Amino acid sequence: MPGGALVDAVRSARLVAVLAVAAICLSALALAIWPTFLVVMAARVLHAGASCVLGPVIAAISLGLVGHAALGTRLGRNARFASIGNGLAAAAMGAAGYLVSNQAVFFLTAALAAPAILALARIRMGDVERPRHTDVGAATTSVRKVLSDRRLLVFAGCILLFQLANAAMLPLMGGILTLRSSQWASTLIGACIVVPQLVVAGFAPWVGRVADSWGRRPLLLFCFLALALRGVLFAFVADPYLIVVVQILDGVCAAVLGVALPLVVADITRGTGRFNLGLGIVGSAVGIGAALSTTLAGYAIDHFGSSVAFFSLASIAACGLALVWLLLPETRPDAGALASRGLNFVASHAEACIDRKSAMRSSGRPTVIPVNFSGRTVKFLTMIAVERVPAELRRRFSRSMAFVSCTQPTGEFRPKWKRLVATAIARLRFSPAT
């Protein structure tokens, strides 16, 4: 939670991201050069703190770049690239450890910080919107009000139950696979890790696209249902290869939650300037749930057996499903409201450069241009009243509006699209009416 509050407080999210990546690089070098107990503990603490900050920073930069209208799609792409990166890094580190030494793994981790910092440097921070009167702006709501938001607390409780049920499943099954198939245990466990990553890489972009049309709540219900089903199947399935197939459900859950978690937090904290604090609160729930999960599941499997342990985890997932169903409302903003907000943005940005009296003063009858905005989630019509203008200018303006419509189908315009339309409006000297 403090990491999210820190990101909200600083002026440069990119600087925080660079510092977090540098801290991870430093922790890897420390593990490689001085592998003593105190250094290892300090490196682990440094790595954990940097990871707590890096996640909210990436989400904040994504939100600033694309806005709420395209955040779901952007998060889906983020999840895809994260999974591909995890797979490639795991393969490279495994090869380094096998061909060179275990120490080479940590040096490779430190070296990977260089391309990460280079990618951050390539982000044009002028495109990351943080103005005063937008939803990504400076903090305008007190921390106490955010902490008392019922929707955020319910969602944090749902995520805690998810991690409480999910975190221990694969470690428990890994131990069982080691006992049942000791010869192929490492291969099977590796497959259980790789298969969900492949599912996330293929499935996450689709989740990001349908989050706006279906809503967040149906995706979360599907996620908890898949988790509960996975726990039940682990209790019954004994074939090691079928266990790898069951791990597809883990990839489905990871894809849905990787997109839905920051998306729901963005919906709840919209207009407050406390997006990263909300992510920090939910991230604290993730950590608490994951820490308790392995302890409780280990106790259950030692005293009651593996079937009881997996059924217990499935029951916790079912409790999370009930909590989402009963207490968590749909957080997706209304598409019609987004559309009208987009038109208001265009009108307000154009107002400063329009002489309305001159625009309506014409020797002839004004021309009316109907502009249709059509997307997956909203359709609306804008009537543009203009003077007699050359046909080429009219066509140029229509192409500009069509380009904006295709780029932002919900009507929530980003600054560069606002400037584009305002420029076309100023050139045509028109008065908009909707």
Residue 308 structure tokens:
């009881």
Q: How many CB atoms sit inside 10 A of residue 117's CB?
A: 17
pLDDT of res. 135: 42
pLDDT tens-place string over residues 184-237: 777 888 888 889 999 999 999 999 888 888 889 999 999 999 999 999 999 998
Residue 197 structure tokens:
């990553």
Place of tokens 């300037």: 273
Q: Looking at 304, 333, 362, which one is the last position of a domain?
A: 333
Rounded Cα–Cα distance for residues 106 and 36 (Å):
14
| Angle (CA) 345 346 352, round 5° | 100
On whether both 269 and 307 belong to a single domain, the answer is: yes
CB 108 within 8 A of CB 92: yes
pLDDT tens-place string over residues 124-135: 766 565 533 344
On whether both 28 and 105 belong to a single domain, the answer is: yes
CB 322 within 8 A of CB 158: no
Dihedral of the alpha carbons of 406, 127, 75, 91, in degrees to the nearest 10? 120
CB 258 within 8 A of CB 79: yes
On whether both 322 and 340 belong to a single domain, the answer is: no
Dihedral of the alpha carbons of 184, 190, 191, 195, in degrees to the nearest 10? 170
| pLDDT in single tens digits along all 434 residues of the chain | 566 666 666 767 788 889 999 999 999 999 999 888 899 999 999 998 888 888 888 888 888 887 777 788 888 898 999 889 888 888 888 888 888 888 888 999 999 999 999 988 888 766 565 533 344 444 566 778 888 889 999 999 999 999 999 999 999 988 888 887 767 777 888 888 889 999 999 999 999 888 888 889 999 999 999 999 999 999 998 888 899 999 999 999 999 999 999 999 989 988 787 888 888 889 889 989 998 998 999 899 989 988 999 999 999 999 999 999 999 999 887 644 444 444 333 333 333 333 334 433 333 444 444 444 444 444 444 444 444 445 555 565 566 656 555 555 444 445 555 555 555 554 444 434 33
The strand ranges marked E within 282-391 are: 367-374, 379-386
DSSP state of 373: E
Residue 394 structure tokens:
């009219």
Within its chain, how far is the Cα of 347 from the centroid?
Answer: 31
Q: What is the CATH number for 221? A: 1.20.1250.20
The count of structural domains within the chain is 2
On whether both 25 and 102 belong to a single domain, the answer is: yes
On whether both 385 and 293 belong to a single domain, the answer is: no
CB 17 within 8 A of CB 61: yes
Q: Looking at 271, 302, 333, which one is the last position of a domain?
A: 333
Q: Looking at 293, 310, 333, which one is the last position of a domain?
A: 333
| Beta bridge mates, 2 | none
Which one, of 262, 270, 15, lies nearest residue 137 by Cα? 270
The secondary structure of 215-283 as a DSSP string is -HHHHHHHHHHHHHHHHHHHHH---HHHHHHHHHHHHHHHHHHHHHHHHHHHHHTTTTT-HHHHHHHHH
Q: How many CB atoms sit inside 10 A of residue 180's CB?
A: 14
On whether both 25 and 123 belong to a single domain, the answer is: yes
- Please, is 175 exposed, middle or buried when counting C-beta atoms within 10 Å of its C-beta (0-12, 13-18, 19+)? middle
On whether both 256 and 292 belong to a single domain, the answer is: yes
On whether both 347 and 361 belong to a single domain, the answer is: yes
On whether both 369 and 255 belong to a single domain, the answer is: no
On whether both 382 and 395 belong to a single domain, the answer is: yes
The secondary structure of 416-432 as a DSSP string is HHHHHHHHHHHHHT-EE
Find the domain containing 405 and state its range.
Answer: 336-433
On whether both 274 and 345 belong to a single domain, the answer is: no
Rounded Cα–Cα distance for residues 236 and 252 (Å):
20
- Hey, is 7 helix, strand or coil? helix
Within its chain, how far is the Cα of 81 from the centroid?
Answer: 12
Residue 156 structure tokens:
């944090």
Distances in Å between the alpha carbon of 223 and those of 57, 163, 173, 227, 254?
25, 12, 20, 6, 8
Q: Which helix (H) or strand (E) holds 180?
A: helix 169-180
DSSP state of 69: G
| Angle (CA) 288 290 291, round 5° | 65
On whether both 233 and 318 belong to a single domain, the answer is: yes
